[in-house]
Structure 1
């Protein structure tokens, strides 16, 4: 079976911020996606136990008041998400998402914060195979420029538009929408990798030096290992770019999850 044709466990979180060590889950989604458009969405709303900053509410639309009134305890949400991922991915479904180290690391730190078993520990000897649309897109279309000053070249919206899906601004930045979009993009990248270039849409065929065929005929394990290397290379390149203006800039190339270092995290509440 080709890596993009089986079922995928699409995963996304919306959070209180962008600090993976200390910010909290607000909403989470795991969407079981089939190769022919079928999908099974599971979603959660959490009470993160802290104030949700206005900047985060502006992104995902969930206020502190709404989360407190309607959300489940954060520990229970993290537990349920991890249990679903362990069951689905442990049975061989690849986990797919966009910029996966953010979501997996936030989930890992939430589980540890509340004294729950981390996802990788739940899997034991079973491998976790991950498909990261940000890493793959950066590799296969390395020279695409940002569409505008306000929209980055590797944002999920840009990938959705590049691969022909458009973008629903009202639905975007909900975890279920973003998870499902990442799965569709991964499937499209896989399709392009396994078809003749002459059948590519013009917007892809005329791109500068596309590299889709380097993903052809890889097993899920081979694709995962390739992304470990690609993520490290991409982070190093981005770090070099940032250091042109900030000599102290550091870009973490860990993939698909940042290693746990106990002193880096605010331990917060335990339960």
Structure 2
């Protein structure tokens, strides 16, 4: 894909964030690994920190198969989960205080799960975190009718972004940041990260409503099981995307 547009100045330095967890329930599942970093305008990581936590609960085999961390490994090498959650939150809070946007792919998952982990461990949550850049939400909005899946692997390939070691927190975080920059070079975006953040709130809600209608139509869910389109932090997500 040709990248013809100049990168907006507010994407010249961005935070990146990703979690790998025990499952997909943002209210009940726990952090296993995490990565917070900073990319420059060329997509190079210029600051980074990674974590491995002992989540305090068994890691299901299915989750371990995705991110590669077993219960035994987490117990042997992982840190206290409260300390990890506190440090992740502090790192993100520091980026937001600098006014730096933070990229997270499917951000409502990562930020919602982190919020519930903070509550679980008695750590102050991120209040109204932002600006956040979610390449999943943005890609669906700017290229709405493109066929195919929208997983990070597929979308990264579409935009010519290398993703080695998918479902490893640092690899996914960095790739998401580079995808955000690639989208900005391919499509006109908002004039600021804060404006884009506000747009994504509406886009995420509309996308969830549209997907709910489709799932109801094909009989996958009942109408009362509507997907939660709250972004970037939702309350619960039994049917989240």
Q: Give the TM-score taking structure 2 as reference length.
A: 0.90
| 1:139-218 aligned within 5 A | 139-146=141-148, 153-168=149-164, 171-193=165-187, 213=188, 215=189, 217-218=190-191
Question: Where do residues 74-89 of structure 1 align in structure 2 (5 Å cutoff)?
Answer: 74-89=81-96
Q: Cα–Cα, structure 1 residues 259 and 3, in superposed 2: closer, same or farther, change >3 Å?
A: farther
The answer as to 2:117 corresponding to 1:115 is no
1:117 aligns to what SS in structure 2? coil
Structure 1 unaligned spans of 5+: 122-126, 147-152, 194-212, 265-271
Residue 3 of structure 2 is matched in structure 1 by none
List aligned pairs for 1:221-236, cutoff 5 A: 221-236=194-209
TM-superposed deviation, 1:120: 1.6
Q: CA deviation at 1:4?
A: 4.9
Say whether residues 1:247 and 2:222 are aligned partners.
yes
Instruction: Quote the Cα distance in structure 1 between the aligned partners of 2:170 and 2:98.
Output: 22
* RMSD, matched Cα: 1.7
Deviation at 1:18, TM superposition (A): 0.2
Distance 1:51 1:176 in 2: 23
What TM-score do the two structures reach when normalised by structure 1? 0.80
Over 4 Å off, 4+ runs: none
Q: What is the aligned length?
A: 227
Task: Indicate conservation of the 8 Å contact 1:13/1:103, yes or no.
Answer: yes
Larger radius of gyration: 1
Unaligned runs of 5+ in 2: 1-6
Which residue of structure 2 aligns with residue 67 of structure 1?
74
